Amino acid sequence: MAYDFDTIIDRRCSDSEKWRCYGPEVLPLWVADMDFAAPEPVLHALRERIDHGVLGYGVDSIRLREVFVERLWNRYGWRVTPEDLVMMPGIISGFNVACRAIASPGEGVLIQSPVYTPILRAAANSRLARQEMELTLGPDGRYTVDYQAFEGAMSGSTRLFLLCSPHNPVGRVFERAELERMAEICDRHDVVICSDEIHCDLLLSGHRHIPVASLAPEIAARTITLMAPSKTYNIAGLHASIAVITDPGLRSKFRAARRDLVPSIDILGLVAAIAAYSEGEPWLHACLRYLEANLDYLEGFVAQRLPGVTFYRPEGTYLAWLDCRRAKIPGNPHEFFLREASVALNDGSAFGRGGEGFVRLNFACPRSLLAEGLERMERALAR
């Protein structure tokens, strides 16, 4: 079946955060959703559910549990049970609930910056202490973990490590040895891991995602894994995600922390998630090929036509982390490109320490939009 990722769908009239935040002259390449229609099986399932006419309370779906458990086994060889799953409306809710469940006010939460902005905020939301270690930026633009700094950022009060894997915004898909080393340090210090793995299906050529909880039973016993169909199938507005918690005691704490505060998946999110996981794989394969081609175009354009801008080719996600520090841009590069090119990117400084001088660009859009945005940036730099 042929899939169309080139057609531009007008989103300015759709209450889109991405397309309504700025004026009509601004091309948005920022918020991490795709400018593609969701897979047809998902749209078909939603139409059928709407046509039914009644949108009352939903029930915890055995079908979604079964489909997801099978997916984890087929993709990662990770054996979990349907009872290990906790249905959630979103990943952000998930790691905020984890903070409430695991740590008491004043205790520590470890993060690795630069990182997804809500992860930066999570500790403060629960009156916890944010303990921040900065990823190491190599000369080639690839980020790695300094394990001495990682362990050194912990204290006797550290209770939780918020891992972003694959990493947003730097695009790393952590290798087994990296995950094992971080997990071993957490195990030794009795620190629970909450792993945001929302981009786990969005892998670029040559890379394989490994859920940190799948490394060993003793690691799974201290890990809360958060996954979702939202980024993968572009259904983020329907609020469906899943927490995988194999340890009964840890799962009980998590459930208690979310009780009467955080709902389960809503009825349309449930329908979309089942359809996406059951029938969305052909669309996903085609989408990944298109994203890879977009990335090739982006990589060539940056190298040849955006002087002073560099980036390390992401290993996962559809987000490029552009280093603008040598581009002779006056002031903040996000503000510069918004003002001079009418292109909205994410401000690197919003991702915490190490983000200054960077912007994040979302290349999950029709290639003509990507090309237009890059050409606007080229003209702004030339001026």
Domain that holds residue 195: 55-61+73-260
Across the range 100-125, mean pLDDT stands at 98
Domain-embedded: residue 287: no
SS3 108: strand
Domain-embedded: residue 334: no
Q: How many degrees, rounded to 5, is the angle at CA 281 between CA 280 and CA 285?
A: 125
Looking at residue 77, its pLDDT comes to 97
Domain-embedded: residue 304: no
Could you read off the pLDDT of 139-171 as tens digits, one per residue?
Answer: 999 999 999 999 999 999 999 999 999 999 999
We report the CATH number of the domain holding residue 123 as 3.40.640.10
Could you read off the pLDDT of 10-21 as tens digits, one per residue?
Answer: 999 999 999 999
Domain-embedded: residue 122: yes
Domain-embedded: residue 202: yes
Instruction: Locate all alpha helices (DSSP H) within the chain, ordered by sequence.
Output: 17-20, 40-52, 62-76, 91-102, 117-125, 147-152, 176-188, 217-220, 248-258, 267-279, 281-305, 333-341, 367-382
Q: pTM surpassing 0.85?
A: yes
Domain-embedded: residue 319: no
Domain-embedded: residue 186: yes
Domain-embedded: residue 312: no
Looking at residue 1, its pLDDT comes to 77
Number of domains in the chain: 1
Across the range 38-49, mean pLDDT stands at 98
User: Which of these, 279, 273, 269, 277, lies nearest to 58 by C-alpha position?
Assistant: 269
